[in-house]
Amino acid sequence: MTPHAEALGKARTAADFAAVIALLDTDLSQAVASRQGLKQAEDRAIFGDGDLAAARAALDDCNDTIAALEKTIAAANGRQATAAQTEARADIEALAEETEGKAALLGARWCAARRLVEELRQELFEADALSRAIATANGLFDAASLPRLKVSLAATRRAAMAGPRAAVPARLSRAGLAADRLLLSLISSGGALDPRPSLRAPVSGAAKKPKTRRG
């Protein structure tokens, strides 16, 4: 039996075993340190300075204590390793349950995203039809020399698309960033629904006249 046998018997977790092992290591260090003094006492008793039998008995007790502590520590290390493995498996199982819950939530999010995309498509269809109707009416206003009646599609779109935008999460994946850019292109100036005519490259300068030889 060791001084910490009761605590060792109550240990269940890896942390419990680690605490007891630390105490056992301290006892072992103290026992090893005291053994040196007992050896010196035995040496003195051999030459008549002290009780040789008592010195040897004390040294034997110390050696027995050291052996018991070393054996107990080895066993405790094994129990600690087993407890750590059990706890690791429990953590994995808990993570698996948590992941299953997140997968169910992910499925619900994807369903919501699909529904919103379908709603967005329908809104875009309706917006496109209205844009075509307004563009046709603008053409008629031009033909009737009544440009003041025209409606600016660009101004209407800019006013409708104005407003705050959600901040991008710090750890958004590449796929998420690509999808976000695609969605923003639908509401940004110059995006997919706001084509702008490409600017032609400026003329670098007047063409130089060819040189003629002097005769």
Residue with tokens 């496109």, as numbered in its chain:
128
Return the SS3 of 139. Answer: helix
CB burial string 139-172: b at 16+ within 10 A, e below = eeeeeeeeeeeeeeeeeebeeeeeeeeeeeeeee
The mean per-residue pLDDT over the stretch 27-39 comes to: 88
Residue-by-residue DSSP string for 57-112: HHHHHHHHHHHHHHHHHHHHHHHHHHHHHHHHHHHHHHHHHHHHHHHHHHHHHHHH
For the segment 132-150, the average pLDDT, to the nearest whole number, is 94
| Percent of the chain topping pLDDT 90 | 53
Amino acid at 93: E
pLDDT digits (tens, 9 = 90+) for 165-215: 899 999 999 999 999 998 888 888 777 777 665 444 444 444 444 555 554
Quote the distance between the C-alpha of residue 192 and its chain's center.
Answer: 33
Alpha carbon distance 191, 161 (integer Å): 12
d(CA 137, CA 156): 15
Q: Which of 170, 151, 144, 160 is nearest to 193 (CA)?
A: 160
Q: Would you say residue 125 has pLDDT above 70? A: yes
pTM of the model: 0.57
The type of residue at 111 is C
